[in-house]
Structure 1
Amino acid sequence: MPSAQDPFYIVKQEIQESIDKLQSTFPQWEKTANAGEQSNLSKKVNGLDKAIFVASRDPSWYGIDGVEVENRRKWTSDAGTSLNGMHKELMRIPSSHQTTSNQYAAQDNYDFIESKSDRQMLLIKRKIYFWSLV
């Protein structure tokens, strides 16, 4: 039973927006050969996949059914495949093209995404806490 308050959909939306942004700027990323944002997104997708695995043990406890679990697994699989494809492309480009300003931009991006990841984890923990009260 999908819900706007379901933490999966909150995290999914934020990850999907980041993937879309990464894909739209991929030609620029190819020039700089910086895989920092892609790597962080991969970690988020893996974390979401682990959460889905936990939810699959007792979907009814989380208010979802088997079909929803499979839909979530498919989305994380597709997102991971997309990120892996971009990662392979970036890895074949020499990193000597990266300038100092791009390194600072990459760190800023990493910091921003890391803060979003922390926020997402907090939302998930809150949701699990509230579910445990029900």
Structure 2
Amino acid sequence: MEGLRQDPFYIVRQEIQDTVHELQQKMSRFHGLTAANPERKQLAANVRDGCDSLQWQLKELEAALDRAAEQPARFNLSQDEIASRRKWIAATRRQAEGMTNTLKTATAPPVNAAEAKAQKANEAFLGDEQAKQQLIMRQQDVELEDIEQAVTRLGRVGLTIHEELESQGRMLDELGEDVDTTHSRLRATQKKIMDVIRKSGTNTQLGVIVFLVVVLVVLVVLTFSPV
């Protein structure tokens, strides 16, 4: 039994037990103080840190036990001894977890405070969402104004094109009327020339033809010359 007491496991175990006893005393002191006492908050922080340290020590001790359990004869360990050590580690871990959970419950804010905090967070969220919606609406208004201006410009361009097409159409109609009039005049002149040719002699016909050709050219020039 004396050999087991010199085992590193038992040395670490004793240190852990001393730490657990010290933390339990602090927990007793913690429960004896009011929530307004500043020492209570400090004790809670000390116990919380101590429990975290305990969990780390227990994890390392369990890892060492696992390695020793792979070669029990080398470390002179029976299966009962290994099981006993695992049982102690598990029990001590539960003690540390119990103190941590007790602190969480004891230091939790009142229900009203929690509700106020949740309401504040909800209001902040709604405020952010409202700001985002307003920004989106402003952006949409700007985009709609740009679209409206573009449509107005397109409407003006379309109206200008329509007026230009109507003007070109009127010019084409006038040109067609001029062509028809000139064509009628040419036909009438041609008819007169043929009548004169039939009624006149050869020389006279030639002179008349020249004269009428000149008249025809003058008519064409006058008809198609710009005003």
TM-score exceeds 0.5: yes
1:30-67 deviations in Å (ceiling 9; x for gaps): 63221001110111011111111111111111111111
Which residue in 2 is equivalent to 1:3? 4
CA gap of 1:56–1:29, structure 2 versus 1, over 3 A, is farther
Report the Cα distance in structure 1 between the residues aligned to 2:22 and 2:66, rounded to whole angstroms: 27
Query: CA offset at residue 8 of structure 1?
Result: 0.3
Bigger RCO of structures 1 and 2 (CA < 8 A, at least 6 apart):
1
Report the Cα distance in structure 2 between the residues aligned to 1:19 and 1:29, rounded to whole angstroms: 15
Q: Kindly indicate whether residue 42 of structure 2 is the aligned counterpart of residue 19 of structure 1.
A: no
Report the Cα distance in structure 1 between the residues aligned to 2:67 and 2:103, rounded to whole angstroms: 32
Which amino acid in structure 2 is aligned with residue 22 of structure 1? Answer: L
Query: CA offset at residue 90 of structure 1?
Result: 1.2
Query: CA offset at residue 70 of structure 1?
Result: 0.4
Q: Which runs of 5+ in 2 are unaligned?
A: 32-39, 110-227
Question: Where does 1:8-87 land on structure 2 (aligned, <5 Å)?
Answer: 8-29=9-30, 31-32=40-41, 33-34=44-45, 35-87=48-100
Which amino acid in structure 2 is aligned with residue 59 of structure 1? Answer: P
Q: Which of structure 1's runs of 4+ aligned residues deviate more than 6 A?
A: none
1:61 is paired with a residue whose SS is: coil
TM-score, normalised via structure 2 length? 0.39
58-67 vs 76-85, which moves further: 58-67
Which residue in 2 is equivalent to 1:90? 103
CA RMSD of aligned residues (A): 2.0
Q: Which runs of 5+ in 1 are unaligned?
A: 97-134
Query: CA offset at residue 27 of structure 1?
Result: 2.9
1:13 is paired with a residue whose SS is: helix
Larger Rg over CA atoms: 2
Is the CA contact 1:29–1:90 (under 8 Å) kept in the aligned structure 2?
Answer: no
Question: Where does 1:122-133 land on structure 2 (aligned, <5 Å)?
Answer: none
1:81-132 deviations in Å (ceiling 9; x for gaps): 1110001011223389xxxxxxxxxxxxxxxxxxxxxxxxxxxxxxxxxxxx
Report the Cα distance in structure 2 between the residues aligned to 1:29 and 1:52, rounded to whole angstroms: 34
Query: CA offset at residue 29 of structure 1?
Result: 4.4
Report the Cα distance in structure 2 between the residues aligned to 1:91 and 1:56, rounded to whole angstroms: 36
Report the Cα distance in structure 2 between the residues aligned to 1:94 and 1:24, rounded to whole angstroms: 18
Which amino acid in structure 1 is aligned with residue 12 of structure 2? Answer: V
Report the Cα distance in structure 1 between the residues aligned to 2:106 and 2:6, rounded to whole angstroms: 41
Which amino acid in structure 1 is aligned with residue 59 of structure 2? Answer: N
Report the Cα distance in structure 1 between the residues aligned to 2:30 and 2:54, rounded to whole angstroms: 15
Which amino acid in structure 2 is aligned with residue 18 of structure 1? Answer: T
